[in-house]
Amino acid sequence: MTRRKRVLGPCLVGVLMCSMADVGKSASRAAPTSVEIQATPLQTLSTATISQGGYFAWSGPALCDESENVYFLVVPASHNSEGGPPPGRAVTPRDVLRVSADGKKRVSFSPAASSKFANATEITTIAVALNRDGGELFMLIWARWRDNGDQTETEKSGQYIVSFNEKGEYQSHLEVDWHEMLVEQFEVFGSGEFLLRGRRPHAAEQRLAILSASGRTLRDVEGWPGNLSEEPSPESAPKFDYMVGGGDGRIYVTQEDVPKGGDVVYAISASGDSERVFELRPMRKDPQLKGWKAAGHRFAAIYLDTAQQLQHSSGEQRGRWWIAVYSNVSDGAEPQATVYGPAPGPPVCYEHKGSTDLFTFITDGAKLVTMSAR
């Protein structure tokens, strides 16, 4: 019998919404010398209502596709009289909801739609990724079954990557052997391979690996600093941050530089090669990195100013949010940074049109607000 501790994404439940911020990140990292960067204010361009009333909450960061649809890993409502989850009881997110940019179209994606998982006793979705080229949604799930045959109860479980087409229809699944790796994050290459981030189940060693599109082979990324520690420990091993697909087909991963402090960006190819690309510039007052978005060859690092952080009773983090956009990443020169803010929260969408950076936020747990520079 196998058991796995299930941990929800970084945000928990409010009556209407929860923040996409990763509240688990420590603020105790070594702080490099900060620099003063003039921030560009944001202005509202459009607003769309997405909530249909009642309870609505999600786990982890929301995702966007090229059509500006937003994908939420939904935290299910309970059946108590107040609509939210019962106090003190864990909730397990399973299904994904896609909401159109105007808030009028909604499509659900459920692993239970597959005959493989229809009879599962429990399904928990750990993470979600998009293949922006092919319009596919992928869900990393942990499924559990119980068998009461022969008057004895047995249990089996495993982790799987499940795919859906743009209509929300189940397409396929592949199993990722948890004895080899317990996966916590993943992204998909346009060629079909997966970049997996997690740990070996019987050691403290963290692992970054490439899974083939068929799911048959799993190989470590070459030159990754998380694989170089001879005696890994919680104090010395690099911590996991964020990953996103870039316009050149590679996946760009942020990695905390434990000895020096600050964050470094690596580009990972589907062949398993890694390249240290650039360092994120220190921000004034050393805010915490809370998100990582991409629009082609441009990347947006999302920060929360912890000096002005407030914790709302709903679990939502409130404070001063800032967005540092890095351009000219692919030309080999030191990338330029433009800082926007303060922002109303972490953006769920980032895109670049013409010469304009556009960001979409969720406000009041019910509205999609698109903003750009004034």
The residue with tokens 């009289």 is 81
Q: Between 61 and 95, name the one with better pLDDT.
A: 95
Rounded CA-CA distance 142/128 in Å is 12
User: In this structure, what token pair is assigned to residue 80?
Assistant: 């108590």
Task: Report the candidate in 87, 88, 86, 63 with the shortest Cα–Cα distance to residue 74.
Answer: 63
- The pLDDT tens digits of the residues spanning 161-173 come to 999 999 999 999 9
Alpha helices (runs of H) in 176-286, residue ranges in sequence order: none
Q: DSSP assignment, residue 16?
A: S
Rounded CA-CA distance 372/347 in Å is 11
User: In this structure, what token pair is assigned to residue 33?
Assistant: 């010398």
Environment class of residue 310 by beta-carbon count within 10 Å: exposed (0-12), middle (13-18) or buried (19+)? exposed
- The pLDDT tens digits of the residues spanning 20-52 come to 333 333 333 444 444 455 899 999 999 998 876
SS3 state of residue 317? strand
pLDDT band for position 305 (50/70/90)?
confident
Q: Show the beta-strand stretches assigned E in 312-365.
A: 317-327, 336-343, 349-353, 356-363
- The pLDDT tens digits of the residues spanning 184-216 come to 999 999 889 999 999 988 876 889 999 999 999
SS3 state of residue 150? helix
**pLDDT at position 57:** 83
- Return the number of other C-beta atoms located less than 10 Å from residue 313's C-beta: 7
Q: Are strands 194-199 and 298-311 parallel, antiparallel or unpaired?
A: unpaired
Residues 317 and 23 sit within 8 Å (Cβ to Cβ): yes
Range scoring the smallest mean pLDDT among 77-86, 204-213, 222-231 = 77-86
Environment class of residue 304 by beta-carbon count within 10 Å: exposed (0-12), middle (13-18) or buried (19+)? buried
pTM: 0.82
**pLDDT at position 37:** 59
- The pLDDT tens digits of the residues spanning 120-137 come to 999 999 999 998 766 799
- The pLDDT tens digits of the residues spanning 348-372 come to 999 999 999 999 999 887 889 999 9
Q: What is the average pLDDT value for the chain, to the nearest integer?
A: 80
Is the pLDDT reported for residue 141 higher than 90?
Answer: yes
Give me the domains of the chain, ranges plus CATH numbers. Answer: 41-373 (2.120.10.30)
What element of type H or E holds 305? strand 298-311
SS3 state of residue 107? strand
